[in-house]
Structure 1
Amino acid sequence: MTSFKTVEGIWADRLGSLRNVVRQHVIAAQLSEHLDADASVLDIGCGQGTQAVRLATRGLQVTGVDPSADLLARLDEAAVSAGVEVRTLAGKLSDLDGLLDGERFDLVCAHGLLMYLPDGEAAVRALVRQVRPGGLLSFTVRNGDALAFRPGIRGQWAKAIAAFDGTTYVNELGADAEAHRLGDVIGWCERASLRVEAWYGVRVFTDGRDAADTPDPDSLQECLTVEVEAGRRDPYRRMASQLHIIARA
């Protein structure tokens, strides 16, 4: 099994790619519709801190948790450059009880984490323990209902056929990962006493682009506008690479 830790360097090298720029922008735009101005935020698996820093620039009190010292160092540098404060803690989801000593948050984020964990539902139960009553949980999963879409639009027919009924895949970084279907994810939320307020698609029309492609400055804003709209509309959001769930405890 190839883990995210093994391919972390590839991830860092591709932070400026079109696919990543779209993903980060779309998640931020979707989340912005649900934010309170003075909320406390926990970002688990925060990585280099793109979302953590964006949330801090809105005036939110942000704590970022990640096991990678290198990515947390990038986050610290980004926060200094942006003129904001983000508390950073080294650790994993399983470390939160010891790290936080019972602290709970208005918003808990886990974007790009669950696909690397063996039990998505158990992860949601662990995440919701960090949410204050009435607070929000925001998380993403790889869209298992559209797992064949990317290889299909690339003309990779054998991969597409295998993906129709698949739940596991090797992602663009080369890491082994899990996909989850929307109906199953909504069931996780219900069993964890979460009420789904909204769900969105993340990256529809750009998902088939090469992982190394960089944004075209002349068309990027239009591209981002289209991706945000696609992420909120049927049938497009159902074909997205990832699903973004926002649920209230």
Structure 2
Amino acid sequence: MARQLEEQIVGRFPVGRRLRVLDVGMGRGAQALRLARAGHQVTGVEQDPALIAAAREELAGEPEGIRERMRIVQGDGRDTGVHFLPGSFDVVLCHGVLMRVEEPDALLAGLARMLAPGGMLSLLVRNGDAAAMRPGLAGDWAGTLAGFGAASYGLKWLTATLAGIGAPLHTWYGVRVFTDTVPDDACLPDDLETLLAVEDRAARTDPYRGVAALLHLCGVRG
């Protein structure tokens, strides 16, 4: 997914431009730090004190120039209007957060307000259209039946929502098409580069991307 995000940033903004990036629900800060290393000014928002501590510890080991480009704010992603002015960011990331909030429409509308004209909103969400795939492949038949009715975060809903908040869908990818059932602690395969190439190809290709575990969507504010 990092490759896809970089691809969209490079394709959308002039080369060498230092972007103002907001990462809502940054977790341990891996993506935020990656963007700071690339030269962008990054603000990470996170609610969990343990994750903030881990992010600060990782940041402390970076050179001074990178440390100066990254700011960490403890707070709720739904309160961006409290911390920042509208139109303050060129890129807003919200990865793995949407599924955990009770009012996703309000969260998304708040994030869209943070975008400057032409700014990009990057979302990573669990694919509701394929919620039955993972339990089905694992032989969990009860979970599979339950998954058939869990399409609340499907592509159609997300596309309509992005249009409604003024950041229409620009492009989308599938994430973890073939690898979602692989255990998190599994050893890396010898042919890792081939595996990554397969996932990258599937991420862009119908019908495979439509049954991915996650959807990566990029909306652009007009």
Instruction: Report the TM-score, using the length of structure 2 for normalisation.
Output: 0.89
Give the unaligned 5+ runs of structure 1: 1-26, 168-178
Give the Cα separation in 2 of the matches to 1:203 and 1:62. Answer: 26
Please give the residue correspondences for 1:69-84 in structure 2 after superposition, counting only pairs within 5 Å: 69-83=49-63, 84=66
What CA RMSD, in Å, does the superposition of the two structures yield over aligned residues? 1.6
Matches within 5 A, 1:1-249: 27-35=1-9, 36=13, 37-83=17-63, 84-85=66-67, 86-102=70-86, 104-167=88-151, 179-210=152-183, 212-216=184-188, 218-249=190-221
Q: How far off its partner does 1:217 sit? A: 5.2
Shift of 1:72: 1.4
Equivalent pairs, count? 211
Deviating 4+ runs (over 4 angstroms): none
CA distance in 2, matches of 1:239, 1:102: 35
The CA deviation at 1:101 is 4.5
In the aligned structure 1, how far is the partner of 2:132 from the partner of 2:120? Answer: 31
Counterpart-to-counterpart distance in 1, 2:61 and 2:191: 26
Amino acid at match of 2:2: A
Which protein has greater RCO, CA pairs closer than 8 Å, 6+ apart? Answer: 1
Rounded to whole Å, the distance in 1 between the matches of 2:92 and 2:150 is 29
Q: Distance in 1 between matches of 2:4 and 2:57?
A: 25
Does the CA-based 8 Å contact 2:91-2:115 persist in structure 1? yes
Distance 1:131 1:101, change over 3 A: closer
Indicate the percent of aligned positions where both proteins have the same amino acid.
Answer: 39
Task: Report how far residue 166 of structure 1 moved.
Answer: 2.5
- Displacement of 1:51 after TM fit? 0.6
CA distance in 2, matches of 1:217, 1:149: 23
Structure 1 CA distance for aligned equivalents of residues 32 and 187 of structure 2 = 22
Q: Which 5+ residue runs of structure 2 have no aligned equivalent? A: none
Q: Is residue 87–residue 113 contact of structure 2 (8 Å, CA) maintained in 1?
A: no
Letter in structure 2 aligned against 1:95? D
After TM superposition, the structure 1 stretch with the greater mean CA deviation from structure 2, 108-117 or 154-163, is 154-163
Cα distance in structure 1, aligned partners of 2:190 and 2:80? 43
Aligned pair in 2 of structure 1 residues 227, 114: CA closer, same or farther (>3 Å)?
Answer: same
Cα distance in 2 between the residues matched to 1:46 and 1:65? 6
CA deviation string 1:217-237 (max 9, x = no partner): 523332222212211111111
Check the 8 A contact 1:53/1:82 in 2, yes or no. Answer: no
| Residue 156 (structure 1) shift | 1.2
